[in-house]
Structure 1
Amino acid sequence: MTQNADAWHTEVNVPLRAVVGNRELALDVVPETLRPGALDAPVRWAHVSELQDPAPYLLGGELILTAGVDLPGRIDRYVRGLRDAGVTALGFGLTPSVHETLPEPLRRACARHGLPLLVVPTRTPFLAVNRAVSVALTEAGQREQRRITAARETLTRAAGGGLGELTSSLAAVLRSWVALVGAGDVLASAHDAPAPLPPEVRELMATVRAGSGIRSATTELDGGFVVVQPVYPQATASHLVVVGRSHRLDGADRAILAVGAALLGLVGRAGSDAAELGAAATGLLLGRVSPGEAAWSLLGSEVVRLVAGAAFRRGPDEVARRPDWLRARLDTPLVEVGPGPRFTAVAGTAPAPEVLEDLRAHGWLAAAGSPVPAGR
């Protein structure tokens, strides 16, 4: 199992084929430098550089343009450095009195290291290439925004049909399988998800649950990609959304997933809290379950903590006083709000520092007690 950051995958980009296919640029691709999938590689910007070693100044995903004014003698090392820096392609501009033809050593080095090489004709200025890439990126960004807006509307409508319809809708929008996993890794809802979830996915879920703050995790699995993230990014992650498909999620996909995760959290909590509370209360009254068992069904833990909060400075506004607002932050359905205002909650885990800071920013000063067995 491998986890991947690849932050630039989440930025707007266009495939190399979109640049190569622009007839106005008249770019020639050197075929022997193309490896399988090379034309689908993302271009995030076009940059002109005549440095002998531009690699330290690159972010990855660039189309580097050079006229070879100061082409280094060790061309193999130059090309290898660009490849290792994550450059998507190298554009070589033919320029009278500098290089009227493509240098053979450069051709051979790009073929050897698998760095796509484009020949920019004399009539095409580098500025035209820069402008074409910029326009393509702008159009791609606008398409992403339209897609995100449409997906948000689709998911919002689906939320009215409950967890099952929302899960299926998210899977359709992302062209993936989706699973909503609750406390104790209990499957709350799923669409086309493998059952049971593979051990690698459960390991990834444990990693996310052990973290804090805004987080998600990605792994490669059986030639595809799996993403795990909490429904409430800054909560203690009792509910996780797991998404899997054959190709990596891009920036628009992640924005859509964030919307879907939030809606799954809201819809799931609205339906499950009442059912779980009712079942736990009934079991306790009839003596069929112990306090520890009731705590596990509600909180995913037989050890509980008391969390208390009081007004801080100006105090919470009307929204932050609502029990549902506090439930989402504290990741527990067991919240009581009283005069003062004050609140008391019973949670399975202590709020993370960033959650306490978020409460403070919204007018609550909160603290958590030591863990004790439920029912003591």
Structure 2
Amino acid sequence: MTPTLAALVDRPDLGLLVRAGAAHLDRPVQWVHTSELADPTAFLEGGELLLTTGLWVRTGAAAYIRRLHEAGVAGLGFGTGLTHAAVPAAVIKAAEAVGLPVIEVPRQVPFIAISKAVAKAVAAAEYAAVTRAYQAQRALTSAAVRADGVTAVTRQLARRLDAWAVLLDPRGSVRAGDSPLLDALRAELARFHAGPASLTYESDGVEITVQTLGAGERIRGFLAVGRTTRLTPADQQVLTTAASLLTVSFERPQAVEAATRRLRGGLLRLLLAGETELVAEIAADLWGELPAAPVRVVLAAGPSRHRQTPSTGPRTPTPSMPRTGIRCCW
């Protein structure tokens, strides 16, 4: 979890003192930056704890605090004992007006100590997120090989993300899981025309992420998750893993079916070419013994130029129909 201002203030080794914005100490601190510029916002991204000794105070505290607030700074760390003996009243007043936390940094606490504390906390949070993602991916993989793999993966995903998760087929019917926003979710599926694709949107205060399933352009299903908070990058990795596992489970039967069709077509061509013994040996291992001769083959459909009047009598073999003991009915 990203460190907060409250976590820094609670550390006795830092000795930090809250001077303004005590109600907003739950703000996460993404990084620490030091600046004495009158307007440092061009060098900020938002979420920083900005450290300063207050050289800029003479340029106007209210305007400075307003700029920091608009830039999304998490808080202002004001070092005392150098430029100022205490945090100026004008700074405290301006910060309270906009709800910007101001933390006094006593002279004996070097700024680098705060930077190190935040850097270690951020690194620990990132490591914890990676560890959770790894554990979740292992759990999803184990779930995928179960007999009820599709249901197990969907259930495990919901548990790992602390969210609801639902698996829908291409028509929007539920295959696994559940969602309290099914009707609204189905209405969004029309926005997908080909895969792979993903969509994140908000509905009734819930952040919903939908990901298509399937290899190539064809969509074989949709995986959706929803919770009140946005998915973190680590959560996105977990969702991607679940989607990949479900895609494999959907594509495997299709691939097997396609391979089986090609195999049957190849055996039929071998049979028509007179390789009866080879076909019989292969077919016996896969489907059982071939029917005993004579065998009637019926052409039920095909291009009009190949259609002829049915006949129950034997035909004279042609080069494309060798003598194999097969009797055809056209």
Query: Equivalents in 1 of 2:61, 2:166: separation in Å?
Result: 50
Amino acid at match of 1:63: L
Aligned residue for 2:157, secondary structure, equals helix
1:217 maps to what in 2? 199
**Shift in Å, 1:166:** 0.8
**Shift in Å, 1:253:** 1.4
**Shift in Å, 1:254:** 1.6
Gaps of 5+ in 2: 261-330
2:98 maps to what in 1? 113
Instruction: Indicate whether 1:151 and 2:136 are aligned.
Output: yes
Query: Equivalents in 1 of 2:194, 2:220: separation in Å?
Result: 12
**Shift in Å, 1:75:** 2.1
**Shift in Å, 1:77:** 2.2
**Shift in Å, 1:219:** 2.6
- Alpha-carbon displacement from aligned partner over 1:31-87 (angstroms, at most 9, x marks no partner): x5134xx33322211010111111122111111111111235332222222122121
Query: Equivalents in 1 of 2:216, 2:110: separation in Å?
Result: 48
Asked if the contact 1:176/1:243 (under 8 Å) is kept, the reply is: yes
Instruction: Indicate whether 1:34 and 2:22 are aligned.
Output: yes
Asked if the contact 1:72/1:78 (under 8 Å) is kept, the reply is: no
Asked if the contact 1:52/1:72 (under 8 Å) is kept, the reply is: no
Amino acid at match of 1:39: L
2:108 maps to what in 1? 123
Instruction: Indicate whether 1:182 and 2:169 are aligned.
Output: yes
**Shift in Å, 1:237:** 5.0
Instruction: Indicate whether 1:242 and 2:228 are aligned.
Output: no
1:251 maps to what in 2? 233
Query: Equivalents in 1 of 2:232, 2:36: separation in Å?
Result: 31
How many residue pairs match? The answer is 258
Query: Equivalents in 2 of 1:52, 1:233: separation in Å?
Result: 54
% identical aligned pairs: 34
- Alpha-carbon displacement from aligned partner over 1:294-344 (angstroms, at most 9, x marks no partner): xxxxxxxxxxxxxxxxxxxxxxxxxxxxxxxxxxxxxxxxxxxxxxxxxxx
Amino acid at match of 2:251: R
Instruction: Indicate whether 1:20 and 2:9 are aligned.
Output: yes
Structure 1 pair 165–57 and aligned structure 2 pair: CA distance change class (3 A): same
Query: Equivalents in 1 of 2:86, 2:242: separation in Å?
Result: 53
Query: Equivalents in 2 of 1:234, 1:17: separation in Å?
Result: 48
- Alpha-carbon displacement from aligned partner over 1:62-113 (angstroms, at most 9, x marks no partner): 11111111235332222222122121111111133x1111111111111111
2:208 maps to what in 1? 226
Q: Over aligned residue pairs, what C-alpha RMSD do you find? A: 2.9
Amino acid at match of 1:262: S
Aligned residue for 1:64, secondary structure, equals strand
Asked if the contact 2:214/2:220 (under 8 Å) is kept, the reply is: no
Q: Which has the larger radius of gyration?
A: 2
- Alpha-carbon displacement from aligned partner over 1:191-221 (angstroms, at most 9, x marks no partner): x412x6142x4455444x25887x5433333
Query: Equivalents in 2 of 1:53, 1:115: separation in Å?
Result: 16
Structure 1 pair 216–109 and aligned structure 2 pair: CA distance change class (3 A): farther
2:288 maps to what in 1? none
1:262 maps to what in 2? 244
Counterparts of 1:1-376 in structure 2 under 5 Å? Answer: 13-30=2-19, 32-35=20-23, 38-71=24-57, 73-96=59-82, 98-161=83-146, 162-190=149-177, 192-194=178-180, 197-199=182-184, 201-202=185-186, 204-207=188-191, 209=192, 216-231=198-213, 238-270=220-252
TM-score (norm 1): 0.61
Amino acid at match of 2:15: A
Amino acid at match of 1:65: L
Query: Equivalents in 2 of 1:18, 1:237: separation in Å?
Result: 46
